Amino acid sequence: MKNLFIIVFALISWGATAQGSFNTREISINGFRNPSIGVEYRIKHISLHGGYYVTNFESGITTEFVKTGVTYWFLPFDQKEIPSSFYVGASYLRGLTRDYENKNAVAVEAGFRWMIWKGLQFRLGAIALVAPGEDIKINPTPGLSYSFILK
């Protein structure tokens, strides 16, 4: 655990000294899971998202949600037009299937967005989901998206 804190501190320190910035507005088409299969609109450090979210709390069993929320982007660290960066977010979810059908839920997540090429990006994070009558679930949240700069 101590090593994890050292790694996180080193990443944050490195990111804080880098020269990246959030000077643009963007719209993203999210094609896989993080934050959802849908759209996201970002202005500087804040984005809003909405879409269809699927996850597996148990191997081979998919649970589906409608998801909307807000994300805060921080520590941009490269010179790309849309920089790679870290994020934290909060979301409202409405269950569509399984034990979560017609249930409200809230989630918090954190992770990293790596800008691969132009607007193509890969995200890797973790989500903690809470719903009435259910245990807290924590899952990885990979994602693949494409962003368009808005002038």
Q: What is the pLDDT of residues 95-148, one digit of tens each?
A: 999 999 999 999 999 999 999 998 999 999 999 999 999 999 999 999 999 999
What pLDDT does residue 72 have? 97
**Structural domains for the chain:** 2-150 (2.40.160.20)
What pLDDT does residue 20 have? 59
d(CA 109, CA 71): 9
Tell me whether strands 104-117 and 61-74 are parallel, antiparallel or unpaired. unpaired
For residue 75, count other CB atoms closer than 10 A to its CB. 19
Supply the pTM of this predicted model. Answer: 0.84
